[in-house]
Amino acid sequence: MPHVIDADRCTSCGACAEVCPEEAISEGTDSYVIDPEICTDCGTCVSECPVDAISQQ
């Protein structure tokens, strides 16, 4: 199941993108976004987010 970023919680701090080993996370219009085609669901980004915006759907 893919990891997704809740745009309402994301503050666009960029911390998740820095730790993603696949470089699957990029800055979007209103929040950072995860490309589901690249994400391997490793889970590394989840604990990096200070506002708990990333979850596995």
Note the Cα 54 to chain centre separation in Å: 6
CB 29, min distance to ligand SF4, A: 13
Stated as kind and residue range, the H or E segment containing 18 is helix 15-19
Footprint of ligand SF4 (CB under 6 A): 3, 5, 10-16, 20, 22, 24-25, 31-32, 34, 39-45, 48-49, 51, 53-54
Min CB(36)–ligand SF4 separation in Å? 9
**Smallest gap, in angstroms, from Cβ of residue 53 to ligand SF4?**
4
